[in-house]
Amino acid sequence: MGDPGPLVSCAWLQENWIDKRDPNIVLLDGTFHQPMWQRDADAEYQECHIDGALGFDFRVIRDTSHQMPLMLPPAAQFEKQVGELGISNDTHVVVYDNNAKFGFYSVGRDWWMFKVFGHDKVSVLDGGLPKWVAEGRPTVSSEQPQITPAVFKATYRPHLVREMGQIMDNYHIKKEQVIDSRPKGRFDGTAPEPNKSLHSGHILGTTNVPFTELIHPDSKTLKSKEAIKEVFEVAGLDLSKPTVLTCGGAVVAPFVAFAASLIGAEIPVYDVRLSVPLSL
């Protein structure tokens, strides 16, 4: 198979998964929907997914002891739950999600979780399930297939994660430039957050780079590397400087981290809801 890189096309997946069923690949449907959208990712998976794809739910693969939802799980828990999906350290993981509005939404967090726990053999399907379906490629309706468990050993990478204390300290020392990945209305405070318990607005001193700016508005595929660079440059950001990404719940910020990785920037993500005081 060779290394396909971090972003794969529908044509590549058709050849290497549907046609050849490469045994080194595990395909994951990592769809997540915000509660306000009133969509059921589990039901949608059963109704329509790429043949052989397994459901990957970071609402389940999370730190259940933490009061905040969607926090990264302990390494041992990630090892166990990923191993139960038949993923080993030798597996090439391909992830996609199902969001026709944006093209990409939760898949960035799926990618980031594997990177945080030391797994570099992970790729994102460009355009996700909507593009796959639009191209007339095969899907199935079924429950999760039988899985042969595997052994996965995690290597936690703390440099890819920021916690609340680090964000608060950074406000005073200004060591890292902070990028807020939410849509402009939520950043400005003119649009509500998907989670009603959170207020929109932003931490003072942050720069807004909406994740949608990195996606082609028509094809819902990722923009070119040159266009990605331009998005950050127009925002006045130099990604050679220390940088950290935030959003409302560590869902879309990892997608921006993914896009930035394609142009050689490794940016950590704040792994908690935007619950630091906005007036910092």
Q: Which residues carry out catalysis?
A: 247
Scan for tokens 């619950």, then name that residue.
275
* Two structure tokens written together for 79: 């090892």
Report helix, strand or coil for 37: helix
Rounded to whole angstroms, the Cα distance separating 225 from 80 reads 35
Residue type, 96: Y
Q: Strands of 108-206 (E only): list them.
A: 122-125, 139-140, 161-162, 177-180
Residue 273's Cβ-side half-sphere holds a number of Cα atoms within 13 Å equal to: 15
- How far the first Cα of the chain sits from its last, in Å, is 49
Rounded to whole angstroms, the Cα distance separating 90 from 39 reads 34
Q: How far is CA 16 from CA 60, 128, 173, 277, in A?
A: 29, 16, 48, 47
Residue type, 182: R
Per-residue burial over 100-113, b = 16 or more CB atoms within 10 Å of its CB, e = otherwise = eebbbbbbbbbbbb
Q: Strands of the chain (E only): list them.
A: 7-8, 25-29, 49-50, 54-55, 92-96, 122-125, 139-140, 161-162, 177-180, 207-208, 243-246, 269-270
* Two structure tokens written together for 252: 């879309």
92 touches 121 (CB < 8 A): yes
